[in-house]
Amino acid sequence: MLRNATVANVAMQDVFSDHVTLQRMLDFEAALARAEAQVGVIPATAVQAIVSRCDAGLLDVAQLATAATASGNLAIPLVKQLTRLVAQIDAEAAKFVHWGATSQDAIDTGLVLQLRDGLDYLEAELGKLAASLAVLTAAQRHTPMVGRTWMQHALPVSFGLKAAGWLDAVLRHQDRLAELQVRVMVLQFGGAAGTLASLGEQGLQVAQALADDLQLDLPATPWHAQRDRIAEVGTVLGLIVGTLGKIARDISLLMQTEVAEVAEPVAEGRGGSSTMPHKRNPVGCAAVLTAAVRVPALVSTLLSAMVQEHERALGGWQAEWETLPEIMRLCAGALEQLQQIVSGLTVDEARMRANLEITRGQIMAEAVTLALGAKIGRLQAHQLVEKACHRASVQGLHLGDILRDDPVIQSDLSATELARLLDPANYLGQADAFVERVLQAYEQRALREF
């Protein structure tokens, strides 16, 4: 636990705790009793005794853990314990515990109930991150900075555009989560082989009553061996964590001492070194990147687990049990860390401007080339500016000084025009328009949710 503290998230740990896992399976058993009594499959007099014992606090968890290993899943010993608990107060009612269901019905529906809580939490946290990114984007929309390709200076961009790119991805993930829940929030109820034969002609009636009780949709068929829903949850969360990792990577690179354009929030004991007092490490980014490294392999486990045998799986289903909750926990932890970083991010606009000048004006070579090319042709302009860049590098001079001394360039570009072309703030293209489009999309989404 201590080793994983950097990516731990208390809320998601609770959603997938042992106690809650057992309780959600018991919630299924209680709802099953109510649904079957409603349809007339079991006596109405059995319901109260069964429901009253569907309390995880009454279970012998240590005994369950031992028995689950021998049984092959948790539901088998859980149903046995529940039956004994019910028999203690009503022997007749105990006969109708888990009536017509199979272990996978309880386990999968219990998981769906946990996913409902977990995905609702992630949706809310993603909304908070989007709000913080929108604030950052709006505040920095006109701040010029170095755009980097292949880890090298390329052209000027705005920090607002970079943040807008982050925000735009998060907005897409919000859509994915919403779409995902429509397909995933469904009941699992098919009995031993997915036919509900144990309930005869009343099977679909019970299934619908059970789904209504649990506030889940009733799918067209049971999905014991069709695991696309579970895999979709994992893959969507994998996409989210990938985006969180991209943002964390950008921020950590911008925090490097030689760059120093942004910094994580300052807090007591945060980002220090055990030996170097001067260090300010990107510890939040490290936590996010830890999740981004681990989650893809976990997602691949879920995708591999989709290839299941006939009507019930041998190994693939079981491989999901720890994998999906771990993805949920890692995603929640990464979201929590990144939200803290973005909401308190320190932005050094002066340093961004200073870094634009590291190449002594050469970052603006394209702007000069295009302006000159419009007068003398692109190829000749490119050759002239390329030579000027080389001379500036060799002599350690600013590109503007070299250009102003070139008689050919002087004849086509005035000193005023050159000064304008060499100002990074004048070569941001459609950056502000792109920022505006993303901010409008964010605001429109916020209005729809309101």
Long-range Cβ contacts of 162-167 (<8 Å, 24+ apart): 162/250, 163/133, 163/136, 163/137, 164/137, 164/434, 164/435, 164/438, 164/439, 165/438, 166/133, 166/243, 166/246, 166/247, 166/250, 167/130, 167/133, 167/134, 167/137, 167/438, 167/439, 167/442
CB count in 10 Å sphere of residue 310 = 10
User: Which one of the listed residues 84, 183, 273, 411 is annotated catalytic?
Assistant: 273
pLDDT along the chain (450 residues), means of 10: 61 95 98 97 97 96 91 93 97 96 97 97 96 98 97 96 98 96 96 94 97 98 96 98 98 96 79 54 94 97 95 91 96 96 97 96 96 94 95 95 91 92 95 97 87
Q: Is 273 a catalytic residue?
A: yes
CA–CA gap between residue 15 and residue 188 (Å, rounded): 19
| Strand pairing class (262-263; 152-158) | unpaired
pLDDT for position 67: 93
CATH tag for 1-101+198-209 (out of 3.40.190.10, 1.10.275.10, 1.10.3720.10, 3.30.420.40) = 1.10.275.10
Is-same-fold flag (1-101+198-209; 102-186+223-357+429-450)?
no
* Pick from 330, 335, 288, 324: nearest CA to 124: 335
Q: β-pairing, 346-347 with 262-263?
A: antiparallel
Domain limits, the chain: 1-101+198-209, 102-186+223-357+429-450, 362-421
Predicted local distance difference test score (pLDDT) of residue 8: 65
| Cα–Cα distance measured from residue 199 to residue 141, given in angstroms and rounded to the nearest whole number | 63
Instruction: Name the one residue in this structure whose structure tokens are 């720890």.
Output: 322
DSSP state of 398: -
Q: How many CB atoms lie within 10 A of CB 272?
A: 14
Task: Report DSSP state, residue 266.
Answer: P
Query: Between helices 431-449 and 103-139, what is the axis angle to 10°?
Result: 130
Domain made up of 362-421: CATH architecture: Orthogonal Bundle (1.10)
Largest Cα–Cα distance of the chain, in whole Å?
104
CB 245 within 8 A of CB 290: no
Q: Please give the pLDDT value at position 1.
A: 44
Q: Could you tell me which of 195, 198, 158, 170 has the C-alpha nearest to residue 353? A: 158
What is the DSSP secondary-structure string of 43-61?
-GGGHHHHHHT--GGGS-H
Burial class (CB in 10 A: 0-12, 13-18, 19+), 124: exposed
User: Which residues are within 8 A (CB) of 146 and not within 5 positions of it... i.e. 6 or more apart?
Assistant: 153, 154, 156, 157, 352, 355, 356, 358, 363
Amino acid residing at 50: I
Cβ contact 431:156 at 8 Å: no
**3-state secondary structure at position 357:** coil
Task: Give me the catalytic one of 280, 294, 312, 351.
Answer: 312
For domain 102-186+223-357+429-450, the question of CATH label 1.20.200.10 is answered with yes
* 360 assigned to active site: no
Gap between the Cα atoms of 217 and 45, Å rounded: 27
In this prediction, residue 81 carries a pLDDT of: 96
Of 232, 186, 183, 246, residue with least CA distance to 211: 186
